[in-house]
Amino acid sequence: MARVRVKTFSVIRDVLGSDVVEVDVAGPETMGGLFKALRDRYGLPFTDKIWDRNTGEMAAFLIKLNETIISSTSDMDRKIQDGDEIAFIFPIGGG
């Protein structure tokens, strides 16, 4: 099991209710496993912010895994370890 710290911003922080949450990822110990653990813990409010209901696809955003930037759409098999720090970086919209 990997216990990781997830730093959140913007709409995800609102759903998770905190700037930082600790999450136990039982398996697989991957980014995909982390998102499953977050869906299980926070339910539909989290799912609605991350996945498109019509297509079932994950939204495109960046993830910082320790000091490495990875992608939400192509790095779900990336291994995570106990003590990793992860941040979700959503694009800022506006005009």
The whole-number pLDDT of residue 92 equals 66
By three-state DSSP, how is residue 85 classified? strand
Give the angle subtended at the CA of 74 by the CAs of 68 and 75, to the nearest 5°.
45
Q: Side chain identity at 59, as an amino acid letter?
A: A
Q: How far apart are the first and last CA of the chain?
A: 43
Which two structure tokens, joined as six digits, stand for 79? 């291994």
- Helices and strands of the chain, counted as H and E runs: 2, 5
pLDDT in tens, 29-67: 999 999 999 999 999 999 998 888 888 888 888 999 999
Containing 64, the helix (H) or strand (E) segment is strand 62-65
Computed over every residue of the chain, the mean pLDDT equals: 91
pTM over 0.85: yes
By three-state DSSP, how is residue 6 classified? strand
The whole-number pLDDT of residue 59 equals 86
